[in-house]
Amino acid sequence: MRAIPIAIASTLLGATLAPIPAIAGSVLKTLTQDAGNACSLSIPTTDTGVRPKATGFRNEGTANAFVICSADVANADGFGGDTTYIGLSLASFDGNAHTTNCTAVARYPDTLSNIQYVTLPALNTAATGVATSLTTNGAPPSYYDHQRGVLSVTCVLPPGVSILAVQRGYKDIDSNDGSMPHSLPQCGDGLDDDNDGLSDYPADPECQSDYDNDESIL
């Protein structure tokens, strides 16, 4: 009689040891960069109070400064094909509230044609110094294509404001066996993705470059 529970236990143990199939999918993640490294003055000058510090890229001067912050898309195999948004985190450090105006820019890494510019909503930073963020989240590809390889935000940075971080939201391929690499952009994958009889750049006129990830949009 004692052999019966032993047999059942062995069966259950065997079930727990059976291999589990790999499950792969897309996971939303955020890459955060130190603004001190990611941002710079758009018009370099030695007569300015704008500088990178451990507390962010700060305007410690008395006049507005034009700055540019670039998002790191290197982990997208050299193009931004998995990016969902880019953004900045800012805060006031002088005890006053401020308004910062920014524009997002998207372009391909191998051409200066068809550059996209999107004016972002004005960002108000509180006098308390609490961080506030602005992003390109929700911008349609026809206005701001996150799948391009060079993504940046330019701002008119007021005195007393610090850019704390540059953020990039992206879809990361996640697999417990590491079997799913990033896909190639549509205009460089050797396929006719929009079924118009033409494939990739420059054969397909709807492709702006090899890094373009949509063969169907001119």
- The 10s digit of each residue's pLDDT in 142-178 is 889 888 889 999 999 999 999 999 999 887 765 444 4
CATH of the domain at 48: 2.60.120.260
Nearest of 97, 95, 93, 101 to residue 67 by alpha carbon: 101
Domain check: are 40 and 145 in the same one? yes
The confidence score (pLDDT) of residue 25 equals 57
The confidence score (pLDDT) of residue 211 equals 61
Domain check: are 188 and 168 in the same one? no
Domain check: are 87 and 118 in the same one? yes
The confidence score (pLDDT) of residue 46 equals 67
Torsion of CA 76, 78, 79, 84, to 10 degrees: 30
Instruction: Give every CB contact of residue 59 below 8 A, 6+ residues apart in sequence.
Output: 49, 50, 65, 157, 158, 159, 160, 161, 162
- At 24, give phi and psi (nearest 5°): -120, 150
Asked if residue 150 is part of any domain, the answer here is: yes
Asked if residue 40 is part of any domain, the answer here is: yes
Per the listing, tokens 């993640």 go with 29
Domain count across the chain: 2
The answer to whether 207 and 200 are in contact (CB under 8 A) is yes
Q: b/e for 29-45, b at 16 or more Cβ within 10 A? A: eebebebbebbebeeee
Strands 150-157 and 39-41: unpaired
d(CA 8, CA 14): 10
- Sign of the CA dihedral with 180 first, then 185, 189, and 194 last: positive
Asked if residue 122 is part of any domain, the answer here is: yes
The answer to whether 190 and 200 are in contact (CB under 8 A) is yes
Domain check: are 85 and 148 in the same one? yes
Which residue range(s) make up the domain with 162? Answer: 24-173
Domain check: are 124 and 189 in the same one? no
Domain check: are 117 and 198 in the same one? no
pLDDT 10s per residue in the chain (218 long)? Answer: 444 443 433 333 344 444 444 444 567 788 899 999 999 998 777 667 999 999 999 999 999 999 999 998 865 444 445 788 999 999 999 999 999 999 999 999 888 888 999 999 999 999 999 999 999 988 888 889 888 889 999 999 999 999 999 999 887 765 444 444 445 677 767 778 888 888 877 788 888 766 677 777 76
DSSP symbol at 187: G
Domain check: are 155 and 188 in the same one? no
Quick one: three-class SS letters along 85-152?
Answer: EEEEEEEECCCCCEEEEEEEEEECCCCCCCCEEEECCCEEECCCCCCEEEECCCCCCCCCCCCCCEEE
* Beta-bridge partners for 101: 156
The confidence score (pLDDT) of residue 7 equals 40
Asked if residue 52 is part of any domain, the answer here is: yes
Domain check: are 88 and 152 in the same one? yes
Domain check: are 192 and 133 in the same one? no
Q: b/e for 88-125, b at 16 or more Cβ within 10 A? A: bbbbbbbeeebebbbebbbbbeeeeeeebeeebeebeb
Domain check: are 211 and 111 in the same one? no
Domain check: are 144 and 191 in the same one? no
